[in-house]
Amino acid sequence: MRSKHSIKPSILLFVTAFSLMVGLICLVNSGYAERESIVPGRVLIKLKPGTPETLLSSVLSSPEVKVIGEIEKLNVKILAVPPGEEEAWIKRLEAEPFIEYAEYDRRVKALFTPNDYYWDFQWNMVKIKAHKAWDVTTGSPDVIIAIIDTGVDLDHPEFLGKIVPGKNFITPALPPDDDHGHGTHVAGIAAALGNNGQGVAGVAWGAKIMPLKVLDAEGNGKDSDVAAAIIYAVEHNAKVLNMSLGGYGSTQTLADAVAYAYNKGCLLVAATGNDGKNEVMYPAAYPEVIAVAATNRYNGVTWYSNYGPEVEVAAPGGGGSNWIISTYRGGGYAYSSGTSMATPHVAGLGALIWSMRPDLSNVQVRNLITSSAMDLSPAGWDEYSGYGLIDVTSSLPPTLEVRPLGITVLVDENGHFYPDNREKLRISNSAYRPLQWKAGISSPSPWLEFSPDSGITYHGVDSLMSITFTLPSTYGLYTVDMIITGTAPEVPDITETIEFKLVYVDKVYPVFLPIVTSQGSNPF
């Protein structure tokens, strides 16, 4: 099914090139980028297991150096040090035998690419075939997508009833409301309400959203906050973590947080960056993260999309005269483009997959996304588009549905079967990805015949199995289970069990019951 979209011109915002470029100017050389990526006056350290707090206190002898925060699950301390002395303190702390590592806290930022042309429809959803997938699933409220960003407009009508409690890591005393717009735009692409007569439809509009604010009103933030938000998302049951942000240079703290979430079974998705260069930003560059490049309306990789060996898939990010429309703070809508916009398409897809098959692991979900991507030029995997443009319909995992789940038949010595000795099973798979099925019975049952015993089913093409009951040799209750197993690449086998019962008696006495009509009761 396809949702209807309406745009309210009075609240439609056009993001200007100037506003999108605030804090996002391309760095001219790696040395300058390195200096600019460092958060002044902050150092991150990880203590080795079992290190007493008193030992750390003895090292931090200067009154200007103190612990100002902690990421408890990672055993990481955030230190305040005199600005300009970060490197000196890192070297001093690295020399201590009880400290596993010491490092800079690095900046991350929202990844926008400006565009000043109007775009009048959600071409992006059509390109990835999301509108076709909505016939199969629109997402489950049991799946939570964490939006690790500038926050989310908590009062936006497109998120009504969809937001689960999040956290503001910039100002912890305040709710994770969006004072920038980037996070709201990203959240709308992933999961804005669809088919509600207004605005836009997100990829997984039935999923929930967890707003985690790690970027300030100018779109800037710190690795330590991103790491802390990742831990928060994991501990509060988010399955998909969307990170439309990034920075050049890695911290072990962020790497540890990413690894922690991945090992806990989360799907992590991040933007490659918008500088059009051969260097994927972090956290997208980590092996546990799906690094997402951006494509335009014509399925070409955009000029601004960073590339490299870490790129895994591509999704619509907008370019040229075609932007991506989505929700914006203040209850409105805006057009924008960038790898930030590409990323939530993949996050939404992950949510759709888990909505259909919550039993899948994050590795299996990831494989479904990559194995079904539409290959772009050049042929095969490449460092610009990875495995290609995501294809939502082809990514959806196959399901196995058998109806009915049980059949009972009564037969007498004259061979009269009630209701009939011939029945049919319908074997269905709602997804577009084919499912190979095979049937077998739990024990030899000469009173039961069925055909065929195997087949293929997929969206719109069901299999029918004919079941035939025959007269047993003696009276009694006969029971057997049929086990139908569905098999497909990239996912575990699926099974359904159908119970068949045959009750064989010497004589069946028909019972006549009155039929109740609107005129009263009449004997039949």
Identify whether residues 469 and 382 lie together within a single domain.
no
Identify whether residues 312 and 430 lie together within a single domain.
no
Give the helix ranges, DSSP H, for 357-472: 362-371, 392-395
Q: How far apart are CA 496 and CA 484, in angstroms?
A: 5
Instruction: Look at residue 517 in the predicted model and tell me its pLDDT.
Output: 39
Partnered with residue 43 across adjacent β-strands are 79, 104
The order of strands in the sheet holding 144-149 is 167-168, 208-213, 144-149, 240-243, 267-271, 289-295, 311-316
For residue 198, give both structure tokens: 């207004």
Identify whether residues 114 and 102 lie together within a single domain.
no
Among 395, 420, 448, residue at a domain's last position: 395
Instruction: Look at residue 510 in the predicted model and tell me its pLDDT.
Output: 54
Tell me which residue has tokens 């319908």: 426
Asked if the structure places residue 220 within a domain, the reply is: yes
For residue 355, give both structure tokens: 């909505």
Identify whether residues 310 and 246 lie together within a single domain.
yes
Q: Which residue has the higher pLDDT, 419 or 364?
A: 364
Q: Which residue has the higher pLDDT, 106 or 225?
A: 225
314 closest CA partner among 326, 298, 330: 298
243 closest CA partner among 263, 260, 223: 223
Identify whether residues 232 and 336 lie together within a single domain.
yes
Identify whether residues 88 and 165 lie together within a single domain.
no
Identify whether residues 143 and 59 lie together within a single domain.
no
Identify whether residues 40 and 16 lie together within a single domain.
no
Full DSSP string of 246-264 = EBSS--HHHHHHHHHHHHT
Among 376, 395, 414, residue at a domain's last position: 395
pLDDT-based confidence at 59, cuts 50/70/90? confident
> Could you tell me how far CA 329 lies from the centroid of its own chain?
23
> Parallel, antiparallel, or unpaired: how do β-strands 448-451 and 463-469 relate?
antiparallel
Instruction: Look at residue 321 in the predicted model and tell me its pLDDT.
Output: 83
**pLDDT tens figures, 268-305:** 999 999 999 999 999 999 999 999 999 999 999 999 99
Helix, strand or coil for residue 107? strand
Q: Which residue has the higher pLDDT, 99 or 16?
A: 99
Asked if the structure places residue 446 within a domain, the reply is: yes
Q: How far apart are CA 244 and CA 211, in angstroms?
A: 13
The whole-model pTM stands at: 0.83
**pLDDT tens figures, 316-361:** 999 888 899 999 999 999 999 999 999 999 999 999 999 999 999 9
- Which residues are known catalytic residues? 149, 182, 340
Q: How far apart are CA 359 and CA 252, in angstroms?
A: 31
pLDDT-based confidence at 363, cuts 50/70/90? very high
Identify whether residues 287 and 388 lie together within a single domain.
yes
Instruction: Look at residue 32 in the predicted model and tell me its pLDDT.
Output: 39
Asked if the structure places residue 268 within a domain, the reply is: yes
What is the average pLDDT across 207-213? Answer: 98
Count of structural domains, the chain: 3
**pLDDT tens figures, 478-496:** 999 999 999 999 899 999 9
Identify whether residues 262 and 208 lie together within a single domain.
yes
Asked if the structure places residue 480 within a domain, the reply is: yes
Sign of CA dihedral 175, 177, 180, 182: positive
Structural domain boundaries, residue 259 = 9-23+109-395
**pLDDT tens figures, 11-49:** 333 333 222 222 222 322 334 345 567 888 999 999 999
pLDDT-based confidence at 125, cuts 50/70/90? very high
Identify whether residues 98 and 195 lie together within a single domain.
no
Asked if the structure places residue 53 within a domain, the reply is: yes
pLDDT-based confidence at 372, cuts 50/70/90? very high
